[in-house]
Amino acid sequence: MPAPPLSLADHACLAIIGERSTHGWAIVKLLAPEGDLGRIWSLNRALTYRAIDRLVEFGLVDRSDAGRRAELSITASGRRRRRHWLEQPVQHLRDLRTEFLLKLALCERASIDTTALVAAQRDRLQPAIAALTDDHPQDAVAWWRHESAQAAARFLERIDSP
């Protein structure tokens, strides 16, 4: 049976739980707009708990039977899914601002070296960046895409060689 697809919310919660055993409320606080991770990508309380429930349902997270203060811990299959997701570059330029920055922050929190991720990200987006920066924009949308691609290229170059 194939692994169930996970949303960005599922992945974010799984990565946080993979750092160490925790409680749902701690994850809610991290992903709140004023939280350490919420400043990159935020998730409200209801959606955070829904993601946690899905992770438990899929067998990626264990939940102690302690009511509202249930302790959450990652399973072996959850660790494999977490590691795989954190190693994968995002597919689109538009996902750099959310998913890629979130991955970088989660890797930093877990002391995971991001050198390979950044290199893979540059390789993955290079064709799109080249296509969008080589043309001569004729309208506002084309200009936006052109400038965004250039900014993405500069960003990836900067984090690749701090």
Q: Give pLDDT tens digits for 47-68.
A: 999 999 999 999 999 999 766 6
108 and 79 in one domain?
no
Domain containing residue 79: CATH number: 1.10.10.10
SS (H, E, C) 86-138: HHCCCCCHHHHHHHHHHHHHHHHHCCCCCHHHHHHHHHHHHHHHHHHHHCCCC
Phi/psi zone of residue 21: left (φ > 0), alpha (ψ -120 to 50 degrees), beta? Answer: beta
Which amino acid, one-letter code, is at 84?
H
Residues 6 or more apart whose Cβ sits within 8 Å of residue 114:
103, 104, 107, 108, 159
156 and 97 in one domain?
yes
pLDDT at 67: 64
94 and 156 in one domain?
yes
> Do residues 57 and 63 make contact, with C-beta atoms less than 8 angstroms apart?
no
Q: Give pLDDT tens digits for 58-117.
A: 999 999 976 667 999 999 999 999 999 999 999 999 999 999 999 999 999 999 999 999
Rounded to an integer, what distance in angstroms lies between the CA atom of residue 25 and that of residue 138?
49
81 and 149 in one domain?
no
Domain boundary among 36, 54, 87: 87
149 and 95 in one domain?
yes
Total domains, the chain: 2
Q: What is the mean pLDDT of the chain?
A: 93
Share of the chain above pLDDT 90, in %: 80
- Quote the radius of gyration of the chain (alpha carbons, Å): 18
82 and 13 in one domain?
yes
In a domain, 2, yes or no: no
Other C-beta atoms within 10 Å of 90: how many?
Answer: 20
Domain housing 71: 8-87
Q: Which residue has the tokens 């959850």?
A: 78
Domain boundary among 30, 59, 87: 87
99 and 71 in one domain?
no
38 and 27 in one domain?
yes
